[in-house]
Structure 1
Amino acid sequence: MSADEYRRGRKVERERQQKDRRARGRYRGVLPAIYAIGFVSFTVVSLFIGPEPAFAVYLVTHLFYAGLIRADIKSLQSQGIDWGFSRHLWFGAAFALPFVAPAYYLYSGRVLRRENESRGVSD
């Protein structure tokens, strides 16, 4: 018998349930589609309307990316994945930098793969 078999309580049950299930990013799958839509709309607006409305599209889409990244990180944290201080960096960078959304998509995929391997759950 291991030491965990003697532990009781809600926290122990929650830890046991989190180890048994697969970690998934709630909004991670939507991010590439939203990024593609934002890129196309930015390109169309900048080519046909002008730079000022294109800047407005840029701001709105990056605000939306930051919100999606924040919500995804919060959903991953609720599943027991610790992000530390880097969650603030991902959220803040999504406001200003154009390629943060695809970089976050790739990075979070690595984090999820590593976490699922440590939980012993395969795809």
Structure 2
Amino acid sequence: MSTDEYRRGRKVERERQGKNRRARGRYRGVIPVIYAIGFVIFTVVSLFIGPEPAFAVYLVTHLFYAGLVRADINSIRGQGVDWGFSRHLWFGAAFALPFVAPAYYLYSRRVLRRENESRGLGD
């Protein structure tokens, strides 16, 4: 008899049910919307106000994207998806490089599709 049969509690029940549920990114769907809004705000500010305020908009939205990527990775990991070391690389890239959020959006779709297929839930 394995030791899992003696474990009880909410966390154990979530672990048992977690393999039967579809993995999804909590903030993944928001990333392209926020990215588009940030791009529009950056364009309007740079055209009508000037480059200094546009740079401030760029910095704020850039840090916001990094926070969204980190929160999404944590939510996906909380569902039992193993990211390995690449989760650190994605967050670091989102923090340091300007156009990583769309690339992360595409990569996370691939990770979630692979995980859902391995759980037998399809796409």
- TM-score bracket, normalised by the shorter chain, equals 0.7 to 0.9
**Counterpart amino acid of 1:108?**
S
* TM alignment of 1:1-123, pairs within 5 A: 7-8=4-5, 9-10=7-8, 13-123=13-123
For 1:7 and 1:95, the matched residues in 2 are separated by 40
| TM-align CA RMSD | 1.9
For 2:101 and 2:4, the matched residues in 1 are separated by 41
For 1:17 and 1:84, the matched residues in 2 are separated by 23
Shift of 1:97: 1.8
Shift of 1:88: 1.6
Long gaps (5+) in structure 2: none
* Matched residues, number: 120
TM-score, length basis structure 1? 0.88
Between the two proteins, what is the percent identity of the paired residues?
83
Long gaps (5+) in structure 1: none
For 2:116 and 2:30, the matched residues in 1 are separated by 20
Runs of 4+ in 1 over 3 A off after TM superposition: 10-15
